[in-house]
Amino acid sequence: MTTGAREHYLGQFAAHRAQLPGASLPGLQRGRDAAIERFAELGLPTTRHEDWKYTNVSALERRLFATFTDVAPDGAAEREVARHALDGMHRLVFVDGRHVPGLSRIASLPPGARVGSLAQLVATQSDIAEVLLAVESEPDANGFAALNTAFWSDGAYIDLAPGVVVDEPIHLLFLATRADLASFPRNVVRAATGSAATVVEQYAGVDDAVYLTNAVTRITAGEGARIAHTKLQQESGRSFHVADIRAAQAADSRLVSQSFAFGGQLARNDIATRFDAEGCDAKLVGLYVGSGRQHHDHHTCIDHARPRGTSRELYKGVLDDASRAVFNGRVIVRPDAQRTDAQQSNRNLLLSDSAEVDTKPQLEIWADDVKCAHGATVGQLDADQLHYLRARGLDAATARGLLIHAFAADVLRDITHPGLHARLATLLPGQLPEDMGKLRCELLPTS
C-alpha cells in the first residue's frame, strides 16, 4: 500500500520541524505541534464532509508534495515579478513560500504602519509575531488549514495602528517556481480602529508545474477600519490551490473582498467574515473562470453575529469545456442580529454542455427583523443578444466573446484603484474562453 497524505505530511513535519520559522520559540512550536496533531486527526477532507461534497481532493492523497526547499530562487522568479508587478504599490514577493527581500519593494509607509515578512518578524520581534499569529486562530476547521498552521513558512504581516491609512495598495505576490513542492503561505492583517488599507494577494505559477499552494489569511478589522482584499489566483494550470481567508470585524468596519479565480486544476477558496459588533459592512465579489477540466470552488460565509450589519455578495462564473464550479454562499443571521440587510447573488454562464456548476445559497436566519435576499442563476449565452449583435455585422465568435466579457467584467466595477482596475481589465480577456485579444475594454461602461 502506498503512503497517503497523512503519513506523508506527518513524516515531513518530523523531518523539517526544526527548520520552520520560530523553531526556538516554545509557544510557537506548541502551536505547530497541536496543528499537526489536529491534521493527524482530521486528515484531508473527503466528499463525505458536507463542505467538501462537490470538491474531491483525493488526488492529493496520491500526489504528495515536499514541504521544504533550500534552493534559492533563480532568474525565473525575477522575470515573473516583472510581469506581475503593479506600479504605485508596495510589494512583498514570496517565492515558493519564502520572502525574497531583493524582489520586494516597500516604499515609505505612514508612521504606525508595519508591513513585512512574518518569518522575519518571528526572528526579530517574536512577541509581536505571536500576537499577530493569534489573530483569528480558532481551531482549524479542516486538514488543509491545520497543515498550514503546522507548516507555514512565511507570509505577510500588515499591522496598522489606530487611524493609520495606507494609500498605496500592498501587493503580496506569491510565485511558485518549483514542481512537486507544497508551499504554506500565512498572512495576517491587523487593522486597528479607524485604519485603512488595500491588500492584493496574488498567486502565480510558472509553466505547467504540478505543486500545491495551501494558504491562510487572517484579517481583523477594528472599529471603523476599512480593508479591501483582492485575491488574484493565476496558478499554473496543473497546480492545486487551497486557500482559507477569514476576517473578524469590529463596529462600523468595512470589508471588501474580491476573489478572481483563473488558474489551477483544482482550486478551493474559503472566504469568511464575522460581524462581531454593530454596523458592520461587507462586500464579497468573485469571478471564477474555468476551462478544460478545471475545478473552482468558493465557499463563502458571512456571519451576521450583531445587529445592523449589511452584506452584499456577487459571485459570477464562466465555465467552458468540462470545467466545474462550486459556489456555496452561507449567510448566518444570529438571533441578536436585528436589522441585518443581506443580499447574495451567484450567476453562472455555462458555455459547454459538459460544464457544470453546483450553486447553493445557505441562509441561516435566526432573527426576525431582517432583509435577506438571494438568487442563483445558471444559464447560457442569450440567443437574442447574440442574434442582435450578429445582425449588426459582428461575427458569431466576436459576439460571443463580447457577451462573455460583458458578463464577467461586471465584477470589476468595484475595483477603485485605477492601476489594479487597469491590470484586471487587461488581464480578463485573456482568461476568457473566446479570443478577445482585440477587445477594447475602455469602451465598456464602468459605473
Partner 1 sequence: MLEIRNLHVTVDDKPILRGLDLAVKAGEVHAIMGPNGSGKSTLAHVLAGREGYVVTAGEILYRGRNLLELAPEERAREGVFLAFQYPVEIPGVANIYLLKAAVNAARKHRGEPELDAMDFLALVKAKLRLMEMDESLLYRAVNEGFSGGEKKRNEILQMAVLEPRLAILDETDSGLDIDALQVVAAGVNAMRSPERAMILVTHYQRLLDHVRPDRVHVLAHGRIALSGGPELALELEQRGYGWVEAKAAKAAEGAAGVPS
- Which residues of this protein are in contact with partner 1, per CB under 8 A? 382-385, 387-396, 398-399, 402-403, 405-407, 409-410, 440, 443-445
User: Rounded to an integer, what distance in angstroms lies between the CA atom of residue 176 and that of residue 264?
Assistant: 12
> From the CB of 321, what's the least distance to partner 1, in Å?
23
> From the CB of 390, what's the least distance to partner 1, in Å?
4
Strands of the 98-99 sheet, one edge to the other: 98-99, 90-95, 170-176, 196-205, 226-234, 254-261, 281-290, 310-319, 340-350, 370-379
> From the CB of 76, what's the least distance to partner 1, in Å?
37
Q: Which is nearer to partner 1, 111 or 393 (CB)?
A: 393
Q: Is residue 428 classed as helix, strand or coil in its secondary structure?
A: helix
User: Rounded to an integer, what distance in angstroms lies between the CA atom of residue 297 and that of residue 244?
Assistant: 12
144's CB contacts (< 8 A; 6+ apart) are 44, 45, 214, 242, 244, 268
| Residue 352 exposed, middle or buried by CB count within 10 Å (0-12, 13-18, 19+) | middle
Q: Which is nearer to partner 1, 70 or 384 (CB)?
A: 384
Q: Which is nearer to partner 1, 171 or 400 (CB)?
A: 400
> From the CB of 411, what's the least distance to partner 1, in Å?
11
Please check whether residue 187 is in contact with residue 118, taking contact to mean a CB–CB distance below 8 angstroms.
yes
> From the CB of 361, what's the least distance to partner 1, in Å?
22
Q: What is the DSSP string of 115-182?
A: EEEHHHHHHH-HHHHHHHHTTT-PPPSSHHHHHHHHH--B-EEEEE-TT-B--S-EEEEEEE--TTBE
Q: Which is nearer to partner 1, 125 or 345 (CB)?
A: 345
Cell of 193: 480602529
Please check whether residue 378 is in contact with residue 159, taking contact to mean a CB–CB distance below 8 angstroms.
no
Q: Which is nearer to partner 1, 91 or 405 (CB)?
A: 405
> From the CB of 282, what's the least distance to partner 1, in Å?
25
Q: Which is nearer to partner 1, 373 or 406 (CB)?
A: 406
Q: Which is nearer to partner 1, 98 or 316 (CB)?
A: 316
Please check whether residue 268 is in contact with residue 239, taking contact to mean a CB–CB distance below 8 angstroms.
no
> From the CB of 228, what's the least distance to partner 1, in Å?
23
Q: Which is nearer to partner 1, 285 or 409 (CB)?
A: 409
Q: What is the DSSP string of 372-410?
A: EEEEEEEE---HHHHHHHHHTT--HHHHHHHHHHHHHHG
> From the CB of 400, what's the least distance to partner 1, in Å?
12
User: Rounded to an integer, what distance in angstroms lies between the CA atom of residue 402 and that of residue 398?
Assistant: 6
> From the CB of 395, what's the least distance to partner 1, in Å?
5
Rg (Cα) of the chain, in Å, rounded? 21
The residue count of the chain comes to: 447
Q: How far is CA 23 from CA 152, 187, 267, in A?
A: 12, 19, 30
> From the CB of 425, what's the least distance to partner 1, in Å?
12
Cell of 141: 476547521
Q: Which is nearer to partner 1, 282 or 287 (CB)?
A: 287
Q: Which is nearer to partner 1, 358 or 414 (CB)?
A: 414
